[in-house]
Amino acid sequence: RFRDARIAVVGGAGFIGSALILHLLNDTAARVINLDALTYAANPRSLTEAQASPRYAFERVDIRDADALGAAFARHRPTAIVNLAAESHVDRSIDAPGAFVETNLMGAFTLLQEALRLWRGLDGSEKAAFRLLQVSTDEVFGSLDGEGACDETAPYRPNSPYSATKAGADHLARAWGATYGLPTIVTHGANTYGPRQFPEKLAPMMILRGLGLRELPVYGRGDQVRDWLHVEDHARALALALERGAPGATYAVGGGGLRRNIDVTRAVCAALDRLAPAPVPRESLIRFVADRPGHDLRYALDSSRIARELGWRPQENFEAGLERTVRWYLDNRAWWAPLVEGEADALRRRGLGAA
């Protein structure tokens, strides 16, 4: 797969980007160029394995910087581009939305312009095979009422500054396809979990706080339903969409693991109690806190299009995937310790945690 391909992964030092890069290097013949600004959310340790590959290159590039993007494209001449670069944390988007508009929306615009210039300069078969994949989210569809799931035809109803900027980028990608012919694809990935996720997100936050026997804050009553998708399943879906997706197509990528946030928190507690026993059950640390404003109650995706057209199905069962994730954090303290100030020392003093 991807013989002679040079894939630019923009935002490749983050959670999903690093999983995609590892998948491309391990399971395909592609060359990978990682272009990332290395914000707080990037972790170079996620790419230690990739750095050992002669098919991997990294350049520090900000997606908002047209000249830097253009120069990187001229040097590496990618045959495909995946855009994952984003400010990705909803809570931060409520406190400080400006950076989200700049990176998620203006950055996507800048990238599309530079991609268009690159694509126009390609010839024959490379031009026909070129794809730009904009990695989006199910959050652009807003909160779903009642039962059921939404597919790619659902109306856009973003409710947070984060999802509004992601929605805007989707529209730009579509318009650059319809207006200029740039072969763009959009994927709507569900809530993703797995190894190497920055500890501000729900699963790793609960894992690391639970490990240290700190309180586990749950928004509202924890009733928010999410469609949990393992990061390796997400990475496989992105690679498939890039390889075989039709220009102009959009694909919903759901994990099929509908769980309430409180269920996820309890599952983390149970896994921690099994793998890193403590004097108190972790569930006793759960505290309900004031809900996030505009918090969507329910996301659920119908992924039948990507199953039918590209043969993708999630492979990871949620409980098994979550336990594997907990184990990963226990075994990879060096990855997260620098990110959670003082946490590693506190754990060592209390004699808690493996590794």
Q: Which residues bind ligand NAD (CB under 6 A)?
A: 11, 13-17, 36-39, 41-42, 62-64, 84-88, 103, 107, 135, 137, 166, 189, 191-192, 198
Cβ atoms of 160 and 101 within 8 Å: the answer is no
Cβ nearer to ligand NAD, comparing 42 with 272: 42
**What is the CB neighbour count within 10 angstroms for residue 14?**
24
The least CB distance from residue 287 to ligand NAD, in Å, is: 24
As a whole number of Å, the end-to-end CA separation of the chain is 37
**Which run of H or E residues covers position 33?**
strand 31-36
Which residue lies nearer to ligand NAD by CB, 16 or 285? 16
Angle subtended at Cα 248 by Cα 244 and Cα 254, rounded to the nearest 5 degrees: 65
Q: Which residues contact 289 (CB under 8 A, 6 or more apart)?
A: 217, 218, 219
Q: Which is nearer to ligand NAD, 105 or 347 (CB)?
A: 105
Write out the DSSP string of 321-333.
HHHHHHHHHHH-H
Nearer to ligand NAD, 47 or 276 (CB): 47
DSSP-assigned states of every residue in 253-308: E--SEEEEHHHHHHHHHHHHHHHS--SS-GGGGEEEEPPPTT---B--B--HHHHH
Reported as type and span, the H/E element at residue 310 is helix 304-310
Q: Which residues are catalytic?
A: 138-139, 162
Number of neighbours of residue 134 by Cβ within 10 angstroms: 25
- Which run of H or E residues covers position 22? helix 15-27
Cα 25 to Cα 53, 72, 297, 335: the distances in Å are 8, 20, 37, 21
Q: C-beta of 66: minimal distance to ligand NAD in Å?
A: 12
Question: Of 297 and 346, which has the nearer Cβ to ligand NAD?
Answer: 297
**Shortest separation between residue 4's beta carbon and ligand NAD, angstroms:** 26
CB of residue 83 to ligand NAD, shortest distance in Å? 7
The neighbouring-strand residues paired with 34 are 9, 58
| Residue closer to ligand NAD, measured from CB, 181 or 335 | 335
Shortest spacing between CB 112 and ligand NAD, in angstroms: 14
CB neighbours of residue 98 within 10 Å: 10
Minimal distance in Å, beta carbon 89 to ligand NAD?
7
